[in-house]
A and B are shown apart, each in its own frame.
Chain A
Amino acid sequence: MRVPLSWLREYVDFELGVERLVELFTLHSQEIDGVYRLGVTAGEVVVGEVVEFGPHPNADRLSVAKVDLGGREVQIVAGAPNPYPGARVPVVLPGSVMADGTKLKKAKLRGLESYGMMMSERELGISADHGGILLLDETHEPGRPVADYFPVGETVIDIDVTPNRPDLWGMIGVARELAAILRTEFRVPEIPYEAGGEPTGAFGLRVEAEDLCPRYDLRRVSGLAPGLEAPLWMRRRIHAAGMRPINAVVDATNYVMLETGQPIHAFDAAKVHGGIVARRGRPNEKITLLDGTTRTLDGEMLVIADEERGLVIAGVMGAEDAEVSAGTTDALIEVANFAGDNILRTSQRLGLRTDASGRFERGLDPNMADLAMGRVVGLLARNPGGDVAPDTLSHYPEPVQPWRVPLRLPRAELLLGMPVGAEEAASRLGALGCEVEADGQELAATVPTFRRDLRREVDLVEEVGRLIGLDQVPEELPGVPQPGGLTPDQQRRRLLRRLLADLGLSEAITYTFGPRRWTDDLNAQGGAGAVRIKNPLSAENGNLRASILPGLLDAAARNKTFGLRGGAIFEVGRVFAPDPPSRALQGAALKFRMTGSVDALGPDAEPNKDSLMGVREEESVGVVLAGTIRPAGWNAPPVRAGFFEAKGLVERLVPGATFAPDAPSFLHPGRSAVVRVGEVKAGWVGELHPETAEKFGLDGWPVAAFELDPGVCRPDVEPRFEPFVSVPAIARDLAVVVERAVPVGEMAASVQGIGGLLAEVRVFDVYEGDQVPEGHKSVALGFVFQGERTLTDEEVDAEMARITAHLDERFAGRVRS
């Protein structure tokens, strides 16, 4: 809402700089989006009379004038050709400052002195018109300041009105608010007129759709002088408030809308057949609007029609047909109230939002019609000078009455946390237009109907609180009667993220929705499909992710294009899968989703309501290692992404995990594994299948990845003391040749299982090549033996023999000498 301060001063007096005004509004009422300046912000503008006007001797497109500034003649060079000897013009004097900050100086233009400047409407902030110099009428006296007639500069504050305050969509409401903040008076000057024109009753009024149209008032103004524009002061205000002046009648309706917040429509009475009908749209009814578009109505849209055709989509936009124009001499003025939710629906259906629809959809006060009607016909009577009909046709079957809202002061003090005096509360509410009765600590406010947001005690508490000032609210801490903390799952995810970061990985957060190729290119497992977004931002980004991997792969590919040599990223977040309820429960599911009701599930409802959600949502942790994950150092080779780098991380996150082939098909078939904890599948780890890498634009980079259920991760294992023996342990090594296909992990685990004095097994080398038969490999194992007392060589030899025999028996392993 753009509020020109000179307009605001018509209703309320204030002596404040604009900065202080903005601050007061911000702290007590609404946010201010901006402050704009128009016209001349400092200096002097006087009325001048053109004495001579002719072409500039040295420039084709310039003119030169001699202008009388009230006994003083000056020479002014002008760009516009429209002044003439005898014309009265506004002249801004050197030293003045324009709205854009430029300071006007005496100048020489193409060799001629120019003292100041004759001004256009735009330069004075009256309108957007820059077509010529503004010509003033005879009432403007040469030499007098123009400001004696109308303001030459304007400051406009742009209020960001919250949706609960439609009363602030008008200057009068803003003035009332400011007066309440400043604890001062405000007034609405009357616009007197005499009635006596053609009767409105010559036309009919019928409201058929009463539910959509709580009030409809119609009044005729006849005998209008055609072809006039609105007076300068009015056009100036309309322009400053951000609207475009059109003609005298339309401007008067817009002016009163800006003043009261109430949209007003004017019909050309000569084009209305029979009377006005407010009805629902008819099947397939079409209406061609002012903006030139033809719209098809439906049966829930309200139409203002005459007996023959639709004239206006109520509250949204009128048709060309019956609109007032420059030639209109007889007008029917509509001031109506429409059901806000219906206007919202219509405007959404049509994809058409207008200033009027935006106001109606918030729900306006039907009682505002009287004030608005009185002011608009009064203004029309003055200009373009019409005759106001003696009668108003009004449909208002259920007048809205002010309502009473009680306010208990202790309740206000509890909610606000500060003392609230009865007198203060009463006067604050009074300033907002309430009538307040007080009985000790109990107040009762009769709320004016333009404050439809004040329905409950708590609404009044807010008003009192903000007007007293929220800076008065003390800072206190409540005593929280419970221990806080993360749940074990939350704690685990927190540790997991910290651990991965400590291990050198970077945490990424990627979009949880993405393109179809995320599932297609990963050969989506099981064919369960993805959860779809019905209205994605772009058609190809409509799938919720079923895995964290594709988002991280896209990120890795971007990093590759950026010229990076590789990196390690991880993300912890949700993945989604469709989980439709059974056919029998589909009705119950929809009811639950729309109303929260789980009655249909019977006595077990609470614990089972998740089954109605339709989407299974789980936490997941994903890691992608791509390219060179650690650059070469001066004494260390580079580390490149690979299966064992990824597996090592998995082993750190999930101690005791087991690994077996049979991983998803988007992975390298020979370099991937399913990760299990006991019998439970915890995820997968592996290098990317070259085909997958190519699809994601990662070809040429080694890529290894894993994805795990964070629930099975143990970033921090609860420690438990194990007794240890302090006699020295004995270490022995052994190299065994086995067939290449033998899994070394199994060998080590199997040896570990033989027990006895063997405390530890470690694989420290795997070798193929010279001195190892074709198709075989040599595996070097290190053992640590530990007894209750110092072991003898013989004892250890016996254990080694047992191990050798076991390896021979289970794995056909031959000891290399």
Chain B
Amino acid sequence: MAVNGRIEELKNAALSAVRGAESTAALEDARVRYLGRSAELTEIKKSIGTLSPDERKEVGRSANLASREIEGALEAKTAQLSAGEREERLRAEAVDVTLPGVPHPRGNLHPSQRIIDEVVDFFVGLGYGVAEGPEAETDYYNFTALGIPPGHPARTMQDTFFLDDGLVLRTHTSPVQVRTMLSQPPPVYVVCPGRTYRRDSDPTHTPMFHQIEGLAVDRGLTLGHLKGTLAAMARHVFGDDVTVRLRPSYFQFTEPSVELDVSCFRCGGSDPNCKVCKGAGWLEMLGAGMVDPGVLEEAGVDPEEYTGFAFGMGPDRMAMAKYGIPDLRLFFEGDLRFLRQF
């Protein structure tokens, strides 16, 4: 039958066009040409109604078979071509992955503040509050209330900046402890970080520096509690391996008074040339002691009922040890070459 022959021809032409297509666009052309609205095969299908019932059946069947076969070929070829083309596109889209990403520059926290935050977080975790007080402090809170009345030799040890009559720049954060004790009854568990001032300027002293002092007043507190608390603090800041030792010392507002050394976190005492401990194996970390009964009384606390411990440390020096900073004066210059390292 002539029509069937033509269908066969069209099918073969279509299949060969599909096979020969080299792009999805050429494939689309082939689809329009052989299966589109005005394609010959479409026309043939439309004209089926004019044929005799016998022809209708036969032509219809072969036209449909041809269509399906062409469609199948189109589909297979499309998949083949588009996969290739996608690969091509991805290849073209490749970037140099070694170029830097969009910057989200990291800022910095001051090294002393890093230590202060760490220490404060440790004590907050134990249940301590954080107290602050004025940096321009009264003579009474800075000295007398701590057992250093006017004329006391210890006053000369603390080169003081004087402001208006009876006002000083606090020489330590201890007055915050006094204010705390005066404002709340025991139990007291508090740390007091802040800036302090002494009239002293040389390579190892700056006229402004930081202190963190702490105070615990409760029933039954012992030197053992002091030692255990500070040992745990040292491990929090310098690592789990460090140990502590107490040495006797002297401070005006504690009795007994001790100094606490932390074993060198770098060498543990094994390196005579260690840059951190200078071969000593120990780092002098803080002064501490049991609160002097006279100081408790001055704050209205009965020393027979309550005992307490107090401690003070220098976060600037702790930062120097921990981060290997050689010169204290770098801390307060705002030098970005320094600040950007933290």
**Interface on A for B, CB 8 Å cutoff?**
26-31, 162-165, 340-341, 344-345, 348, 361-362, 414-418, 456, 458-459, 461-462, 465-466, 470-471, 473-478, 480-487, 490, 494, 497-498, 500-513, 531-537, 544, 551-552, 554-556, 558-559, 562, 564, 567-569, 573-574, 576, 580, 589-590, 592-596, 613-615, 617, 630, 633-636
Known: A475-B228, A480-B126. A544 touches B136 (CB 8 A): yes
Which B residues are CB-close (under 8 A) to A165?
250
Which A residues are CB-close (under 8 A) to B232?
475, 477
B173 contacts A by Cβ under 8 Å:
no
Of B7-15, B17-25, B148-156, which stretch is located at the interface? B148-156
Question: What are 30 residue pairs bridging A and B, where the CB atoms are less than 8 Å apart in the complex?
Answer: A416-B224, A416-B256, A417-B227, A461-B255, A462-B255, A470-B223, A470-B246, A475-B228, A476-B225, A480-B216, A484-B126, A484-B129, A486-B130, A502-B106, A502-B107, A504-B106, A507-B107, A507-B108, A509-B332, A513-B207, A531-B164, A534-B163, A544-B136, A558-B334, A559-B334, A590-B165, A594-B144, A596-B138, A615-B163, A636-B103
Of B54-62, B76-84, B109-117, which stretch is located at the interface? B109-117
Which A residues are CB-close (under 8 A) to B124?
484-486
B189 contacts A by Cβ under 8 Å:
yes
A618 CB to closest chain B CB (Å) equals 11
Within 8 A of A (CB), among B243-295: 244-250, 255-259, 290, 292-293
Known: A416-B256, A475-B227. 12 other contacts (CB 8 A): A344-B153, A470-B246, A470-B248, A476-B228, A480-B127, A484-B124, A494-B117, A533-B162, A534-B162, A569-B336, A595-B140, A630-B103
A609 CB to closest chain B CB (Å) equals 10
A164–B256 CA distance with the chains assembled, in angstroms? 12
Do A476 and B222 have beta carbons less than 8 Å apart?
yes
B125 contacts A by Cβ under 8 Å:
yes
Which B residues are CB-close (under 8 A) to A513?
161, 169, 207-208
Do B224 and A476 have beta carbons less than 8 Å apart?
yes
A531–B137 CA distance with the chains assembled, in angstroms? 13
Do A504 and B248 have beta carbons less than 8 Å apart?
no
**Which one, B102, B207, B290, contacts A537 given CB within 8 A?**
B207
Known: A414-B220, A512-B208, A633-B102. A569 touches B339 (CB 8 A): yes
A576–B163 CA distance with the chains assembled, in angstroms? 12
CB-nearest residue of chain A to B260: A470
**Which one, B136, B293, B307, B336, contacts A506 given CB within 8 A?**
B336
Known: A417-B222, A498-B109, A508-B339. A592 touches B140 (CB 8 A): yes
B107 CB to closest chain A CB (Å) equals 4
Which B residues are CB-close (under 8 A) to A555?
333-335
**Which one, B107, B195, B220, contacts A573 given CB within 8 A?**
B195
A291 CB to closest chain B CB (Å) equals 21
Do B224 and A473 have beta carbons less than 8 Å apart?
yes
Do B231 and A475 have beta carbons less than 8 Å apart?
yes
Q: Mark B122-147, 1 if CB is under 8 A from A, else 0.
A: 01111111101011101111001100
Known: A477-B229, A504-B107, A590-B165. A466 touches B216 (CB 8 A): no
Known: A474-B224, A533-B169. A596 touches B109 (CB 8 A): no
Known: A344-B153, A459-B255. A484 touches B110 (CB 8 A): no
Which A residues are CB-close (under 8 A) to B207?
511, 513, 537
Q: Mark B204-239, 1 if CB is under 8 A from A, else 0.
A: 000110000000101011111101110110000000
A475–B232 CA distance with the chains assembled, in angstroms? 9
Which B residues are CB-close (under 8 A) to A511?
207-208, 332
Which A residues are CB-close (under 8 A) to B113?
497, 507, 509
A511–B257 CA distance with the chains assembled, in angstroms? 31
Do B228 and A474 have beta carbons less than 8 Å apart?
yes
A701 CB to closest chain B CB (Å) equals 13
**Which one, B135, B151, B216, contacts A574 given CB within 8 A?**
B135
Which B residues are CB-close (under 8 A) to A533?
161-163, 169
B38 contacts A by Cβ under 8 Å:
no
A132–B183 CA distance with the chains assembled, in angstroms? 71
A536–B199 CA distance with the chains assembled, in angstroms? 8
**Which one, A361, A559, A615, contacts B336 given CB within 8 A?**
A559
A175 CB to closest chain B CB (Å) equals 18
A408 CB to closest chain B CB (Å) equals 10
Do A461 and B167 have beta carbons less than 8 Å apart?
no
**Which one, A344, A481, A554, contacts B334 given CB within 8 A?**
A554
Which B residues are CB-close (under 8 A) to A558?
333-335
A533 CB to closest chain B CB (Å) equals 5
B72 CB to closest chain A CB (Å) equals 40
Do A477 and B225 have beta carbons less than 8 Å apart?
yes
A432 CB to closest chain B CB (Å) equals 13
A718 CB to closest chain B CB (Å) equals 21
Which B residues are CB-close (under 8 A) to A345?
151
CB-nearest residue of chain A to B244: A475
Known: A484-B125, A512-B208, A555-B333. A634 touches B99 (CB 8 A): yes
A415–B112 CA distance with the chains assembled, in angstroms? 33
Do A562 and B337 have beta carbons less than 8 Å apart?
yes
Do A615 and B162 have beta carbons less than 8 Å apart?
no
Do A615 and B227 have beta carbons less than 8 Å apart?
no
Do A471 and B135 have beta carbons less than 8 Å apart?
no
**Interface on B for A, CB 8 Å cutoff?**
99-100, 102-110, 112-113, 117, 120, 123-130, 132, 134-136, 138-141, 144-145, 150-151, 153-154, 156-157, 161-167, 169, 187, 189, 195, 199, 201, 207-208, 216, 218, 220-225, 227-229, 231-232, 244-250, 255-259, 290, 292-293, 307, 331-337, 339-340
Known: A163-B154, A484-B189, A558-B334. A617 touches B225 (CB 8 A): no
Known: A576-B136, A615-B134. A501 touches B208 (CB 8 A): no
Do B225 and A417 have beta carbons less than 8 Å apart?
yes
Q: Which 6 A-B pairs have the closest CB atoms?
A: A555-B334, A417-B224, A593-B166, A417-B222, A480-B127, A462-B256
A504–B144 CA distance with the chains assembled, in angstroms? 45
Which A residues are CB-close (under 8 A) to B129?
482, 484-485, 487
**Which one, B125, B127, B248, B335, contacts A462 given CB within 8 A?**
B248
Which B residues are CB-close (under 8 A) to A27?
245, 247-248
A164–B340 CA distance with the chains assembled, in angstroms? 45
A531–B169 CA distance with the chains assembled, in angstroms? 11
B85 CB to closest chain A CB (Å) equals 28
Do A478 and B334 have beta carbons less than 8 Å apart?
no
Known: A415-B256, A501-B107, A636-B102. A484 touches B128 (CB 8 A): yes
B129 CB to closest chain A CB (Å) equals 6
A27–B332 CA distance with the chains assembled, in angstroms? 35
CB-nearest residue of chain A to B232: A477
**Which one, B127, B195, B223, B249, contacts A512 given CB within 8 A?**
B195
Do B166 and A589 have beta carbons less than 8 Å apart?
yes
A561 CB to closest chain B CB (Å) equals 10
B282 CB to closest chain A CB (Å) equals 9
Which A residues are CB-close (under 8 A) to B151?
341, 344-345
B299 CB to closest chain A CB (Å) equals 10
B307 CB to closest chain A CB (Å) equals 6
Do A418 and B164 have beta carbons less than 8 Å apart?
no
Which A residues are CB-close (under 8 A) to B218?
478, 481
Which A residues are CB-close (under 8 A) to B195?
512, 573-574
Do B258 and A470 have beta carbons less than 8 Å apart?
yes
A534–B256 CA distance with the chains assembled, in angstroms? 36
A245 CB to closest chain B CB (Å) equals 30
A485–B123 CA distance with the chains assembled, in angstroms? 9
Which A residues are CB-close (under 8 A) to B164?
531-532, 580, 614-615
Do B332 and A470 have beta carbons less than 8 Å apart?
no
A774–B107 CA distance with the chains assembled, in angstroms? 43
CB-nearest residue of chain A to B282: A26
Known: A470-B258, A509-B110, A511-B332. A594 touches B138 (CB 8 A): yes
Which A residues are CB-close (under 8 A) to B125?
484
Which A residues are CB-close (under 8 A) to B104?
504
Do B334 and A551 have beta carbons less than 8 Å apart?
yes
B120 CB to closest chain A CB (Å) equals 8
